[in-house]
Amino acid sequence: MAQSWQDIHKEALRRIHSREWAPDTLIPNEADLAEEFGCSRATVNRALRALAEAGWLERRRKAGTRVARAPQRRAQLAIPLLREEIEARGQRFAHRILSRSRSKMPSPLRAALGLSDDAPVERVQTLYLADGHPFALEDRWVHLAAAPGFETADLEKISPNEWLVQHAPFSHGTLDYSAAPAGDFEAEQLGCANGTALLCMQRSTFGPGERAATLVTTHFAPNHRVRLEI
């Protein structure tokens, strides 16, 4: 029975983990693997390409494919839905739009996104709630040219976070985590003392063709934890 590329990917990863395919050694060529798994070379190629993109294999033209000497897992950016995160905890989700305006974007933030001074942007500040208690405070700048329809979207019915995930696909971005003291505004909205250490996440996203889409800063309520799988 012919194997799918996912089956080949899984088996190849097993061989790497078990050291059946040892680090820094060549693996069988695509033709031999295609014969072994009873599939086309294109199917094998897709599986190996995915492993190379994840950092497990090194592929060089005319030199074959070898197991990476020191595999480095490469992080992939996926935009989390705060609603799903809250509901996964068994809590009731709600959000509140605190402000929404066509404010002038500060020069440092424009520079970070590579936007010109006349690029149309909208600023939205949103408080996310879990069982009625503050969960996260979001300060979001949206490049309207990269998110058609956002300016007229009913953000009371659907949060900015969820609307953009659904309507503004991105190709790449950056993500920074830091600890930041709560200022007056953060302390008031998150119900904590001024100066409380908060987990702060700043994310920028870019659409196809390097077009900047959004820059969002999220402060999470005290004691928030982030769990990553590697």
The torsion region of residue 47 among left (phi > 0), alpha (psi -120 to 50) and beta comes to alpha
Higher-scoring residue by pLDDT: 172, 208: 172
Q: Over range 17-24, report the average pLDDT.
A: 91
Strands (E), the chain: 57-60, 64-67, 93-101, 121-130, 133-143, 172-181, 197-206, 212-220
Specify the pLDDT at position 86: 94
More confident residue, 75 or 147: 147
Q: What angle do CA 108, 109, 115 make, to 5 degrees?
A: 105
Distance, in Å, from the CA atom of 172 to the CA atom of 194, rounded to the nearest integer, reads: 35
Q: Could you read off the pLDDT of 80-136 as tens digits, one per residue?
A: 789 999 998 999 999 999 999 998 899 998 888 889 888 999 999 999 999 999 999
pTM above 0.75, yes or no: no
More confident residue, 165 or 92: 92
Side-chain half-sphere of 133: how many Cα atoms within 13 Å? 9
Cβ atoms 181, 197 nearer than 8 A: yes
3-state secondary structure of 35: helix
- pLDDT value for 184: 97
- The pLDDT, as a whole number, for residue 2 is 64
Mean pLDDT, residues 178-207 taken together: 95
Q: Which two tokens stand for residue 47?
A: 């599986």
- CA–CA separation, 189 and 182 (whole Å): 10
Write down the mean pLDDT value for the chain: 90
With cut-offs at 50, 70 and 90, classify the pLDDT of residue 212: confident
Q: How does DSSP assign the chain, residue by residue?
A: -PPPHHHHHHHHHHHHHTTSS-TT-BPPPHHHHHHHHTS-HHHHHHHHHHHHHTTSEEEETTTEEEE-SS--PPP---PPPHHHHHHHTT--EEEEEEEEE-PPPPHHHHHHHT--TT--EEEEEEEEEETTEEEEEEEEEEEGGGSTTGGG--TTTS-HHHHHHHH---SEEEEEEEEEE--HHHHHHHT--TT-EEEEEEEEEE-GGG-EEEEEEEEEPTT-------
Question: What pLDDT, on the 0 to 100 scale, is given for residue 168?
Answer: 83
pLDDT tens, 46-74? Answer: 999 989 888 899 988 878 899 998 766 55
Which pLDDT does position 206 carry in this prediction? 86
- The pLDDT of residue 202 is above 80: yes
Does pLDDT of 185 surpass 70?
yes
Q: Is the pLDDT of residue 200 over 60?
A: yes
Report all structural domains of the chain as residue ranges with CATH numbers, in order of start: 5-67 (1.10.10.10), 82-220 (3.40.1410.10)
Select the more confidently predicted residue: 213 or 189. Answer: 189
